[in-house]
């Protein structure tokens, strides 16, 4: 049985017709679908079921999708679950907010079922390909990345990163001293099947630096080329 057939997708949307459509197409593609109609229900479902991915509508009653995303990323139990945002909005600012909060991808309604399934599969593939290392940690001064436990600390204090931010940091640290272009980082951290632009890398790097505090200065911008993790 393929991995996709075992994957559980939490679908969050307040419109019953959209929920039913998404459930139908996900099940048809071999996924299991868990449904939630609002933010609080989504958060409880994520904690209870630990889905492999969340499809999250940005326009929800009582609690907006961006706030749901923020809370999911703040909880240790759900922080590493990848999230794809769904919205009828097409403005660039909405995408930036979603990416800065840790969303893996973004789909604007209306979308085709084929596009939806391709994006879901692409994100699940990237998550499954997260590096597993017997040599479990990478360190540089006060910054430590624990690959086996998917944890980052700065001066022994934990730093909560999204799965994409974690992959970005890992790739940069493993290539210490070498410049990685935006395209190379997209390929390594998002995968060849990604549906995001190179500018998305800038958004994630900016948020990563902010979360790392002073250790974020180790990530250097090489103008016109890309990014480099500082050498000694």
CATH number of residue 151's parent domain: 1.10.10.10
Name beta bridge partners: 27: none
Task: Inform me whether the pLDDT recorded for 66 exceeds 70.
Answer: yes
How confident is the model over 47-59, as a mean pLDDT?
A: 93
Q: Which pLDDT does position 194 carry in this prediction?
A: 61
116-168: per-residue pLDDT in tens?
999 999 888 877 765 554 456 889 999 999 886 778 999 999 998 887 888 89
Per the CB < 8 A criterion, the answer to whether 177 and 229 are in contact is yes
Is the pLDDT assigned to residue 26 strictly greater than 80?
Answer: yes
The answer on 29 and 110 residing in a single domain is yes
Count of all residues that appear for the chain in the document: 232
Q: Which of 17-31, 180-194, 197-211 is least confident?
A: 180-194
Residues spanned by the domain of 152: 137-229
Instruction: Check residue 40 and give its pLDDT.
Output: 94
3-state secondary structure of 32: strand
Q: Does 150 lie in the same domain as 40?
A: no
Last residue of a domain, one of 100, 128, 156: 128
The pair of three-digit structure tokens given for residue 15, joined into one six-digit string: 């419109």
5 or 227: which leads in pLDDT: 227
Q: Is 54 exposed, middle or buried (0-12, 13-18, 19+ CB in 10 A)?
A: buried
pTM over 0.75: no
Provide the phi-psi class of 164: left if phi over 0, else alpha when psi is between -120 and 50, else beta. Answer: alpha
Picking from 36-40, 101-105, 147-151, 201-205, which range would have the lowest pLDDT averaged per residue? 147-151
- What's the confidence (pLDDT) of residue 134? 43
pLDDT at residue 102 in the model: 78
Q: Are residues 143 and 122 in the same domain?
A: no
Domain stops at, among 87, 104, 128:
128
Of 147, 141, 148, residue with least CA distance to 212: 141
**Where residue 188 falls among pLDDT bands split at 50, 70, 90?**
confident
Number of compact structural domains in the chain:
2
Residue 116, classed as helix, strand or coil, is: helix
Average pLDDT over residues 61-75: 88
The dihedral formed by the CA atoms of 62, 67, 71 and 72, expressed in degrees to the nearest 10 = 100
Tell whether 13 and 119 lie within a shared domain: yes
Q: Is the pLDDT of residue 87 over 50?
A: yes
Q: What is the Rg, in whole angstroms, of the alpha carbon atoms belonging to the chain? A: 18
CA separation for the pair 113, 129 (Å, rounded): 24
């Amino acid at each position: 049985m393929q991995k996709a057939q075992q994957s559980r997708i939490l679908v969050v949307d307040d419109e019953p017709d959209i929920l039913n459509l998404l459930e139908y197409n996900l099940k048809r593609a071999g996924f299991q679908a868990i449904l939630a109609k609002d933010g609080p229900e989504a958060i409880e479902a994520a904690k209870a079921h630990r889905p492999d991915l969340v499809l999250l509508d940005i326009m929800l009653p009582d609690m907006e999708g961006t706030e749901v995303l923020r809370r999911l990323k703040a909880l240790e139990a759900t922080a590493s679950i990848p999230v794809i945002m769904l919205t009828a909005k097409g403005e660039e600012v909405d995408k930036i907010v979603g990416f800065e909060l840790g969303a893996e991808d973004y789909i604007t309604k209306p979308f085709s079922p084929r596009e939806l399934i391709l994006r879901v599969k692409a994100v699940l593939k990237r998550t499954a390909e997260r590096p597993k290392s017997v040599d479990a940690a990478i360190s540089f001064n006060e910054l430590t990345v624990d690959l086996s436990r998917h944890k980052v600390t700065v001066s022994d204090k934990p730093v909560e990163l999204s799965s994409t931010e974690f992959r970005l940091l890992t790739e940069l640290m493993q290539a210490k001293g070498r410049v990685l272009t935006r395209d190379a980082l997209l390929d390594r951290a998002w995968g060849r099947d990604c549906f995001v632009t190179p500018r998305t890398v800038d958004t994630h790097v900016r948020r990563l630096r902010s979360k790392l505090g002073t250790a974020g200065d180790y990530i250097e911008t090489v103008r016109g080329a890309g990014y480099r993790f500082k050498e000694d």
